[in-house]
Structure 1
Amino acid sequence: MQIHVVKPGQTLFSIAQTYSVGVDRIIQTNQLPNPNNLVTGQALVIPIIGSYHFVQPGDSLYTISEKASIPYEQIVRANGISPAAQLTINTRLYIPARQKTTAEFVGYVESRDETVSKTLEASAIESAPYLTHLAPFSFQALRDGSLKEPILSNFSDIARDNRTILMMVINNLENGQFSEELGYILLNSTSVQNKLLNNITTTAQKYNFKHIHFDFEYLRSTDRETYNQFLRKAKERFHKEGWLLSTSLAPKTNREQKGRWYESHDYKAHGEIVDMVVIMPYEWGYSRGPAMAVSPIGPVRQVLEYAVSEMPSKKIVMGHNPYGYDWTLPFVQGSTAKAISPQRAIQIAAANQAVIEYDEKAQAPFFHYKDQAEKKHEVWFEDARSIQAKFDLLKELNLRGMSYWKLGLSFPQNWLLISDNFNVRKRS
């Protein structure tokens, strides 16, 4: 597939002609919210097998092949040219489709209401063909070892119909916040632990969960080793059932990183104990902080490079955010930015005649606009370029895959590019 960035004055018709593809296919593929009002800087995925490269000054077959990650001989054969050919500026060269790798993908579904909305259910159905694990969020562990269940809707049927593993997420949330006191009780009381593990087993069997995932966060630093011991106990219990075991980990860059979120998470131990870990290297730009990319590629890389130094790369799943934020400027401490989907970001840019820019260092798109009250806004979001950058990093570091927190925010380009880059591992 081709990622095309809209230039000033371009229309869907002119873009379609450039790539010899129908206008309707581009609209449908991208689920375009603004087909008649394209935004300068907007990224489009062009539904073709392989891609095209338009020769630029300084290009050679070698540099083009390096960028495309395929041997230059394939480019020569595909275009019927000589290896010694002089390349002419703006010549269109066909780049054969890249070789796919196999990866696993996790999608979290969270409902805060008494019922699961039709929109969220539709999102789970749309995403499930591209997922290895579908994770309803979440089962809350209680102080006596019992479980508070989420609304499960028909997620079990969706998982079964798409050969996707149903993943049971258990956390230490209490009154909407991760509780260190609850975590302490769960990790230090043998009777509570035994009851919790019994309840998890019974519930998993009831709903056909085959993957148990602990998302214990903001634990006491003194519970680092007790958490490791708990996981060893859980592993012995759940592996007898043939289930996978995984954990969520805070985004650390060194073993002794300070802070409530980090100190209880032992990368090396988790890498030895569990089958996989979901690392959460996002929210650098967050709703209550100043405007910036949510998951800039540099900090993401730092976290994941540390992770692969502590555990096997094939146990690591890169957490990712299929959303962005709309900040009102100037940033005021205590204010909250609005979470938006990539599709909604494009709608806002189109409605306000904004120009989308791309931060090469962060590998993320952003734009500015003024609302009806003349207040300035800054929007950072995800697009085809930013997710491709994450996919490239995933492949470079030989990771297990990627997880999405969370489904329900429309990002059709993501699923297109999964198909272009990967064979999704499915399990019966």
Structure 2
Amino acid sequence: MIIHAVENGDTLWKIAQRYGADINQIILLNQLNNPDVVVIGQALVIPEPNKEYVVQPGDNLWNIANRYGVRVQDLAEKNNIANPALIFVGQMLLLPFTNYTVQAGDSLWKIANQFGVSVSEIAEANGIENPSLISVGMTLAIPSPLRPVKEINAYITRTNAEGAREVNTLGSHFTYLSPFTRTIQTDGNLTDLDDAAVLQAAAAQNISPLLVVTNFVGGSFDSDLAATFLRNPGIQDTFIENLLEQMRAKGYSGVNFDFEYVYPEDKENYNAFLRKVVGRLRPEGFSVSTALAPKVREDQQGLLYEAHDYEAHGDIVDFVVLMTYEWGWSGGRPWAIAPINKVREVLDYAVTVIPRDKILMGMPLYGREWEIPWVQGTYARTVNPQEAIQLAAKYGVPIQYNEEYQSPFFRYTDESGQEHEVWFEDARSVQAKYDTLEEYGLRGASYWVLGSPFPQNWPVLQRNFKVKKM
């Protein structure tokens, strides 16, 4: 998979010719509504011939495997496909092997070095007992390089049939699915969520569902509700039993606590509650995780941060989700949603107090559009990456890329003369985040939130990591 930023004079046909790629596969992989229009600065993902294949209408896994001379089960395993009968148009498949014809002067060591695999891997794949005995004209099956294994979580707010379709389509990319949300109540109960459709889809895709519990009421996080809950051990005991009942009944594998805007004086109460709930759930085989605000130091001021004790959570729970996004928030100035320099500042602190193998780095799947000049009290509109590109195409403006933030953006003027500024994510920006995740040696990543079309993200994820399935 290659990331190509459209240049002046590019057409889709020229781009396909440059990389020897199939133009129809590029169109499907990027979900291009109008292939005749590409925007200068737009990032496209290009499937590499004989290494990747994009599912076309009428395909099934058997005919794809037969075309490339590989076994269906190898193709399914390589791509985390739980049901070989279920593949989707536009889905990129990594081929488990590439065929190579031995040339004069070749050695197995030279070929292995060329493809980034080991001599023993090639020898094993081809039944070669003596690696020095290969001959010109011999066809070798070169196994695709191994990828680091990471865990991927995805929050989802649409739990209806539409959400289930998205989970089925993208499910090979997720370790966990976190339907948002159930809310704590002052009597120890928790609100219900009609999650049957997405849980069924998660099960079909071998995804471990996490039950999300928050203090989210009426569109915002309620500090007083969190205080009432965290200051009353009796309410907590009742809640834990109700939680266990819900998790067992619905087949959840773990719980994710996302308590936000907790009063600073409840920091230790929150820690104590987590110790209690872990002590009750872990022996039952359930995981416990938390979502944490993006702090850069322990004593960071502000209601969002002060009660989130990084070191304590890192010690108590199984893993944490760092919410490394929302710098460019809807009520603030135009800015990248997750500027990589700010993400790295959070990670620089986090890894000093939380084990790296307990950290999922938050990643946004959305962007925002502001009216400029920005006025205090105005709010940005949330846009998805596909919508952002369509806006740039509509108004004929190039997409720029901020190297410091590793994020694309553009400005345009609408029909009324109003200026706008748009920041969003593209293949380059998520590649920068995956590079960061690997550099810091983290457990994996967590997306906020499904329901925002971003087709370029999935092949980029796929080329970087093998997603762990439980």
Q: TM-score, normalised by structure 2?
A: 0.79
Which residue number in structure 1 is paired with residue 173 of structure 2? 130
Instruction: State yes or no: 1:110 paired with 2:153.
Output: no
Which residue number in structure 2 is paired with residue 212 of structure 1? 255
User: Which deviations, in whole Å up to 9, do the C-alpha atoms of 1:180-238 show, x marking residues without a partner?
Assistant: 21111211112101111011000001100111111111111111111111001000110
Which residue number in structure 2 is paired with residue 64 of structure 1? none
Q: Does the CA contact (< 8 Å) of 2:332 and 2:376 recur in 1?
A: yes
Please point out which of 352, 360, 365 is paired with 2:403: 360
Residues 413, 98 of structure 1: CA spacing in aligned structure 2 closer, same or farther, 3 A cutoff? farther
Q: Which has the higher contact order (CA 8 A, sep 6+)?
A: 1
Q: Give the drift of 1:254.
A: 0.5
Which residue number in structure 2 is paired with residue 38 of structure 1? 38
Instruction: State yes or no: 1:323 paired with 2:366.
Output: yes
In 2, Cα distance between the equivalents of 1:424 and 1:5? 26
In 2, Cα distance between the equivalents of 1:29 and 1:155? 24
Residues 76, 141 of structure 1: CA spacing in aligned structure 2 closer, same or farther, 3 A cutoff? closer
Residues 154, 78 of structure 1: CA spacing in aligned structure 2 closer, same or farther, 3 A cutoff? closer
Which residue number in structure 2 is paired with residue 101 of structure 1? 148
Residues 5, 74 of structure 1: CA spacing in aligned structure 2 closer, same or farther, 3 A cutoff? farther
Which residue number in structure 2 is paired with residue 19 of structure 1? 19
In 2, Cα distance between the equivalents of 1:329 and 1:379? 10
User: Which deviations, in whole Å up to 9, do the C-alpha atoms of 1:88-145 show, x marking residues without a partner?
Assistant: xxxxxxxx9764100011111114xxxx455433222222210000111011111111
In 1, Cα distance between the equivalents of 2:162 and 2:423? 24
Write the letter of the residue equivalent to 1:304. Answer: L
Q: Give the drift of 1:368.
A: 1.0
Write the letter of the residue equivalent to 2:47. Answer: P
Identity between Structure 1 and Structure 2 (%): 42
C-alpha root-mean-square deviation of aligned residues, in Å?
A: 1.9
SS in structure 1 opposite 2:436?
Answer: helix
In 1, Cα distance between the equivalents of 2:403 and 2:164? 35
Gaps of 5+ in 2: 52-109, 117-142
Residues 9, 219 of structure 1: CA spacing in aligned structure 2 closer, same or farther, 3 A cutoff? same
Q: Give the drift of 1:50.
A: 9.4
In 2, Cα distance between the equivalents of 1:98 and 1:45? 19
Q: Give the drift of 1:417.
A: 1.0
In 2, Cα distance between the equivalents of 1:34 and 1:283? 31
Q: TM-score, normalised by structure 1?
A: 0.87
Gaps of 5+ in 1: 52-72, 80-95
Write the letter of the residue equivalent to 1:196. Answer: F
Write the letter of the residue equivalent to 2:45. Answer: V
Please point out which of 191, 194, 205 is paired with 2:237: 194
Equivalent residues in 2 for 1:203-242, closer than 5 Å: 203-242=246-285
Work out the number of aligned pairs and report it. Answer: 387
Write the letter of the residue equivalent to 2:188. Answer: G
Q: Does the CA contact (< 8 Å) of 1:34 and 1:346 recur in 2?
A: no
In 2, Cα distance between the equivalents of 1:147 and 1:124? 25
SS in structure 1 opposite 2:156?
Answer: strand
Write the letter of the residue equivalent to 1:259. Answer: G
Instruction: State yes or no: 1:371 paired with 2:414.
Output: yes
Write the letter of the residue equivalent to 1:245. Answer: V
Equivalent residues in 2 for 1:292-303, closer than 5 Å: 292-303=335-346
Please point out which of 284, 299, 302 is paired with 1:256: 299
Q: Does the CA contact (< 8 Å) of 1:34 and 1:350 recur in 2?
A: no
Residues 74, 217 of structure 1: CA spacing in aligned structure 2 closer, same or farther, 3 A cutoff? farther
Which residue number in structure 1 is paired with residue 84 of structure 2? none
Q: Does the CA contact (< 8 Å) of 1:132 and 1:165 recur in 2?
A: yes
Instruction: State yes or no: 1:398 paired with 2:445.
Output: no
Q: Give the drift of 1:418.
A: 1.2
In 2, Cα distance between the equivalents of 1:76 and 1:268? 42
In 2, Cα distance between the equivalents of 1:108 and 1:204? 17
SS in structure 2 opposite 1:156?
Answer: helix
In 1, Cα distance between the equivalents of 2:309 and 2:149? 27
In 2, Cα distance between the equivalents of 1:104 and 1:97? 21
Residues 28, 314 of structure 1: CA spacing in aligned structure 2 closer, same or farther, 3 A cutoff? same
Q: Does the CA contact (< 8 Å) of 1:39 and 1:355 recur in 2?
A: yes
Q: Give the drift of 1:374.
A: 1.6
Q: Does the CA contact (< 8 Å) of 1:213 and 1:247 recur in 2?
A: yes
